[in-house]
């Protein structure tokens, strides 16, 4: 079992040009409400219009924009939290149909290798005392789960049955599409100091990426500090 620390990353699948063009589309759609159409609509007019819309609390208008993000090398703990945001389209790596026993040889070694995400602020090699008097580390416990999984597969268990032994820290990949209003909600919940360290770290990085591109949508999220483990968090400033 390969241990991952600080390994999670994302890829925004929506092209940058498309993200920026959606700001203009949001203004065009929103002006329908007020019969206040103007020409030409530009990035400058869209920025001002969206700012006014959000300050007024009319957030439904920004649902006309959306973004698709692929999250990689994050745990199933991360995905369990992410899929609780229901107004999203989701495609996730399946432990039913992905057979991690294929990692034994050949070109599939890396693709099907079992990996486990460890807390970056913990020493995965530190020994802890078990009830039976033995000492084991996080890394050794994760390796034992992989050993049990492979033993079950070799004894004839289907991958969808053997997966029951896999820990919540098992690496996963997930693709999320959501409109901009839902992304605002996701950031509001997941970049705060109270959020779990794994989802907070990756969402803070994603927020760093989208703020310069979509400033009228996300510029009210401000980096506020770091916690005792050195992980950043943001706060949403009031309008």
Q: What strands lie across the sheet with 171-179, from one edge to the other?
A: 9-12, 66-75, 171-179, 89-92
What pLDDT does 112 receive? 82
The answer to whether residue 200 is catalytic is: no
Burial (0-12, 13-18, 19+ Cβ within 10 Å), 67: buried
Q: Which of 181, 190, 200, 201 is catalytic?
A: 190
User: What confidence score (pLDDT) does residue 104 get?
Assistant: 60
pLDDT tens digit at each of 239 positions of the chain:
899 988 899 999 999 999 999 999 999 999 999 999 999 999 999 999 999 999 999 999 999 999 999 999 999 999 999 999 989 999 999 999 999 988 666 666 677 889 999 999 999 999 999 999 999 999 999 999 999 999 999 999 999 999 999 999 999 999 999 999 999 999 999 999 999 999 999 999 999 999 999 999 999 999 999 999 999 999 998 87
What was the pLDDT predicted at 135?
A: 97
Domains of the chain and CATH, by start: 1-239 (3.30.1360.170)
Q: What's 94-147 look like in SS3? A: CCCCCCHHHHHCHHHCCCCCCEEECCCCCCCCCEEECCCCCEEEHHHHHHHHHH
User: Which pairs from 58-61 meet CB under 8 Å and 24+ separation?
Assistant: 58/30, 58/33, 59/181, 59/184, 60/181, 61/26, 61/29, 61/30, 61/33
Question: What pLDDT score was predicted for residue 13?
Answer: 98
* Per-residue pLDDT, 239: 72
Q: Distance between CA atoms of 158 and 149, rounded to whole angstroms?
A: 10
pTM of the model: 0.94
* 70 contacts: CB under 8 Å, gap ≥ 6: 10, 11, 12, 13, 173, 174, 175
């Amino acid at each position: 079992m390969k241990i991952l620390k600080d390994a999670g990353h994302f890829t925004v699948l929506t092209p940058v040009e498309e993200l920026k063009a959606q700001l203009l589309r949001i203004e065009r759609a929103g002006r329908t409400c007020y019969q206040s159409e103007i020409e030409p609509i530009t990035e400058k007019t869209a920025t001002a219009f969206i700012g006014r819309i959000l300050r007024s609390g009319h957030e439904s208008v920004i649902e006309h924009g959306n973004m698709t993000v692929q999250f990689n090398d994050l745990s199933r703990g991360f995905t369990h939290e992410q899929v609780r945001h229901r107004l999203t389209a989701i495609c996730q790596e399946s432990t039913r149909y992905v057979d991690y026993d294929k990692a034994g040889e050949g070109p599939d070694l890396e693709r099907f290798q079992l990996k486990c995400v460890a807390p970056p602020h913990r020493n995965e090699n530190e020994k802890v005392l078990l009830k039976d008097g033995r000492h084991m580390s996080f890394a050794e416990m994760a390796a034992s789960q992989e050993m049990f999984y492979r033993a079950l597969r070799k004894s004839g268990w289907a991958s969808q049955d053997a997966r029951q032994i896999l820990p919540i820290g098992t690496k996963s990949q997930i693709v999320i599409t959501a409109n901009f209003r839902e992304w605002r909600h996701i950031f509001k919940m997941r970049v705060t100091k109270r959020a779990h360290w794994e989802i907070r770290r990756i969402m803070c990085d994603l927020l760093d990426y989208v703020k310069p591109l979509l400033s009228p949508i996300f510029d009210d999220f401000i980096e506020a500090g770091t916690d005792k483990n050195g992980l950043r968090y943001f706060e949403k400033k009031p309008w």
